[in-house]
Structure 1
Amino acid sequence: MIGIPVRLKTAASLALLGLLVLLAGIGQLTFWAPADTVTASAPSDTKAAPLTVIGQELLDHKGGPSRITIKGDGNFVLAVGRPDDVDGWVGKTAHNTVTGVSEDGKSLQVTNTEGEATAPAPAGSDLWVETESASGQLEYSWNPPADGEWSLLLASDGTKPAPASISVTYPNDTYMPWAVPLILIGSVLMAAGAALPLLSRFLGARNGGNGGSGSGTGNGTSQKPAGPFFKNQAPGGQAPQQKGGTTALRILAAGALATALAGTSLAGAQAAESPSPSSAQGASAEADVPVLVDAQLKRILEQVANAVSAGDAARDAAKLKTRVDGTELLVRTQNYKIRAKVASHQARMPVRASKLLGSVVTTQRTWPRTVVAVTQGDGNVVPQVLTLRQSAPRENYKLLATAPLQPGTSFPAIPLGGTQQAAAGDKTGLLYSGTEAMAALADRLTKPGSAFKDKLVEGTGSPYIADVLDYQADAVKAGSSGTFKFTHTPVPADTLVYRTSDGGALVLGRLDFVFTTTPKAEGDTLIADKAAAVLAGGESTKVGLSQTFAESVAIYVPPAGSNDPMKLVAAFRGLVAASFK
Structure 2
Amino acid sequence: MRFVLAILAFAAAAVMIGVGIAQRTVFLEPDRVSLGTVVENQADYIVLQPDALAANPGKQTITVSGAATVFFAYGRTDDVLAWIGDDPYVSVGYDAETGDLVSETVVATPVEDDTPTAPETDAEGAADEAAEPAVSPAGSDLWLDEVTAERTLTTTIDVPEGISVILASDGTEPAPGRIVVSWPLDNSTPWAGPLIAGGALVFLIGVGLVISGFLAHRRSRGPRRNLPKGPKGKLMRAPRPSRAQRSAAAGGPRRSSGRARRVVLVPALLVPALALSACSADYWPDLSSAPETTAPATPAATDEPGDGGDAAETPEIVPAVTVPQMERIMRSVAVFTTEVDEARDSKRLPERFTGPALEARKANYAIRATLADHPALPAIPAAPLTLTLPQQATGWPRTVLTIAKNSDDETVAPTALVLRQESPRENYKVLYATALVPDADVPEVAPASIGAPPINPEFKGLVMPTGQVAPAYGDVLLKGDESEFAQFFDPEGDTVRAQLGVEGQKAIADALPDTADVAFSNAPGDSPTVALATNDSGALVTVSIKQTEKVTPNDGGTVGFKSGQPAAALSGFDDKSAKGVQRVIGIQLMFYVPAIGSDEKIRLLGWSESLIGASEVQ
CA contact (8 A) 1:99 1:111 kept: no
Which of 321, 329, 339 is residue 358 of structure 2 equivalent to? 329
- With over 3 angstroms needed to count, the CA separation of the structure-2 counterparts of 1:45 and 1:397, relative to structure 1, is closer
In the alignment, the residues of structure 1 paired with residue 566 and residue 181 of structure 2 have an alpha-carbon distance, to the nearest angstrom, of 64
In the alignment, the residues of structure 1 paired with residue 363 and residue 495 of structure 2 have an alpha-carbon distance, to the nearest angstrom, of 25
TM, length-normalised to structure 1: 0.69
Post-superposition offset of 1:554: 0.5
Tell me what 2:152 maps to. Answer: 137
Which of 278, 299, 317 is residue 299 of structure 2 equivalent to? 278
- With over 3 angstroms needed to count, the CA separation of the structure-2 counterparts of 1:276 and 1:139, relative to structure 1, is closer
Post-superposition offset of 1:92: 2.3
The answer to whether residue 498 in structure 2 is matched with residue 477 in structure 1 is no
Deviations 1:323-365 (A, max 9, x none): 3333222212212222333456443222222432222222214
Deviations 1:79-128 (A, max 9, x none): 11111211122122221011332622234243343795642222222111
Post-superposition offset of 1:504: 0.7
- Which one-letter code corresponds to 2:570 in the other structure? L
Tell me what 1:206 maps to. Answer: none
Tell me what 1:488 maps to. Answer: 522
- Which one-letter code corresponds to 2:566 in the other structure? A
- With over 3 angstroms needed to count, the CA separation of the structure-2 counterparts of 1:351 and 1:93, relative to structure 1, is same
* Percent pairwise identity: 30
- With over 3 angstroms needed to count, the CA separation of the structure-2 counterparts of 1:142 and 1:336, relative to structure 1, is closer
Tell me what 1:226 maps to. Answer: none
Tell me what 2:142 maps to. Answer: 127
CA contact (8 A) 1:409 1:458 kept: no
Which of 528, 534, 538 is residue 561 of structure 2 equivalent to? 528
Secondary structure class of the residue paired with 1:526 = coil
CA contact (8 A) 2:64 2:70 kept: no
In the alignment, the residues of structure 2 paired with residue 160 and residue 361 of structure 1 have an alpha-carbon distance, to the nearest angstrom, of 36
- With over 3 angstroms needed to count, the CA separation of the structure-2 counterparts of 1:38 and 1:106, relative to structure 1, is farther
Post-superposition offset of 1:282: 11
- With over 3 angstroms needed to count, the CA separation of the structure-2 counterparts of 1:559 and 1:280, relative to structure 1, is farther
Deviations 1:360-408 (A, max 9, x none): 2222142222212212324662111122222222222222232111123
Which of 175, 199, 206 is residue 162 of structure 1 equivalent to? 175
Post-superposition offset of 1:501: 1.9
- Which one-letter code corresponds to 2:510 in the other structure? K
Post-superposition offset of 1:156: 0.8
Tell me what 2:435 maps to. Answer: 404
In the alignment, the residues of structure 1 paired with residue 538 and residue 570 of structure 2 have an alpha-carbon distance, to the nearest angstrom, of 40
The answer to whether residue 471 in structure 2 is matched with residue 439 in structure 1 is yes
Tell me what 1:75 maps to. Answer: 69
467-476 vs 428-437, greater mean Cα deviation: 428-437
Post-superposition offset of 1:478: 2.8
Tell me what 2:538 maps to. Answer: 504
Secondary structure class of the residue paired with 2:445 = coil
CA contact (8 A) 1:156 1:162 kept: yes
CA contact (8 A) 1:307 1:319 kept: no
- With over 3 angstroms needed to count, the CA separation of the structure-2 counterparts of 1:329 and 1:534, relative to structure 1, is same
Post-superposition offset of 1:564: 0.6
Which of 408, 416, 426 is residue 395 of structure 1 equivalent to? 426
Tell me what 1:50 maps to. Answer: 44
In the alignment, the residues of structure 2 paired with residue 415 and residue 137 of structure 1 have an alpha-carbon distance, to the nearest angstrom, of 42
CA contact (8 A) 1:148 1:289 kept: no
The answer to whether residue 454 in structure 2 is matched with residue 422 in structure 1 is yes
- Matching of residues 242-391 of structure 1 within 5 Å: 277-279=298-300, 288-318=317-347, 320-343=349-372, 345-377=374-406, 378=408, 381-391=412-422
Tell me what 1:580 maps to. Answer: 616
Structure 1, unmatched stretches of 5+, are 1-30, 174-272
RMSD after superposition: 3.4
CA contact (8 A) 1:375 1:385 kept: yes
The answer to whether residue 600 in structure 2 is matched with residue 564 in structure 1 is yes
Give the count of matched residue pairs: 449
- Which one-letter code corresponds to 2:363 in the other structure? Q
Structure 2, unmatched stretches of 5+, are 1-25, 111-129, 187-293, 305-313
CA contact (8 A) 2:94 2:100 kept: no
TM, length-normalised to structure 2: 0.66
Post-superposition offset of 1:458: 4.4
Post-superposition offset of 1:539: 4.5
- With over 3 angstroms needed to count, the CA separation of the structure-2 counterparts of 1:288 and 1:88, relative to structure 1, is same
Secondary structure class of the residue paired with 2:393 = coil
- Which one-letter code corresponds to 2:74 in the other structure? V
Tell me what 2:85 maps to. Answer: 91
In the alignment, the residues of structure 1 paired with residue 303 and residue 426 of structure 2 have an alpha-carbon distance, to the nearest angstrom, of 29
- With over 3 angstroms needed to count, the CA separation of the structure-2 counterparts of 1:350 and 1:84, relative to structure 1, is same
CA contact (8 A) 1:38 1:172 kept: yes
- Which one-letter code corresponds to 1:558 in the other structure? P
Post-superposition offset of 1:152: 0.6
In the alignment, the residues of structure 1 paired with residue 183 and residue 302 of structure 2 have an alpha-carbon distance, to the nearest angstrom, of 18
- Which one-letter code corresponds to 2:85 in the other structure? G
- Which one-letter code corresponds to 1:548 in the other structure? V
CA contact (8 A) 1:39 1:106 kept: no
Post-superposition offset of 1:422: 2.1
- With over 3 angstroms needed to count, the CA separation of the structure-2 counterparts of 1:371 and 1:347, relative to structure 1, is same
Post-superposition offset of 1:570: 0.9
Secondary structure class of the residue paired with 1:457 = coil
CA contact (8 A) 2:581 2:614 kept: yes
- Matching of residues 459-478 of structure 1 within 5 Å: 459-460=492-493, 463-469=495-501, 470-478=503-511
Secondary structure class of the residue paired with 1:81 = strand
- Which one-letter code corresponds to 1:305 in the other structure? A
Secondary structure class of the residue paired with 1:120 = coil
- With over 3 angstroms needed to count, the CA separation of the structure-2 counterparts of 1:298 and 1:66, relative to structure 1, is closer
Tell me what 1:542 maps to. Answer: 578
- With over 3 angstroms needed to count, the CA separation of the structure-2 counterparts of 1:38 and 1:373, relative to structure 1, is closer
In the alignment, the residues of structure 1 paired with residue 295 and residue 388 of structure 2 have an alpha-carbon distance, to the nearest angstrom, of 38
- Which one-letter code corresponds to 2:134 in the other structure? A
Deviations 1:140-193 (A, max 9, x none): 44411xx651111000112211122224446899xxxxxxxxxxxxxxxxxxxx
CA contact (8 A) 2:455 2:533 kept: no
- Which one-letter code corresponds to 1:446 in the other structure? L
Deviations 1:419-456 (A, max 9, x none): 23424424253222211222221221121211222311
CA contact (8 A) 1:325 1:399 kept: yes
- Which one-letter code corresponds to 1:477 in the other structure? D
- Which one-letter code corresponds to 1:542 in the other structure? A
In the alignment, the residues of structure 2 paired with residue 52 and residue 409 of structure 1 have an alpha-carbon distance, to the nearest angstrom, of 47
Which of 162, 169, 178 is residue 149 of structure 1 equivalent to? 162
- Which one-letter code corresponds to 1:85 in the other structure? D
In the alignment, the residues of structure 2 paired with residue 381 and residue 166 of structure 1 have an alpha-carbon distance, to the nearest angstrom, of 49
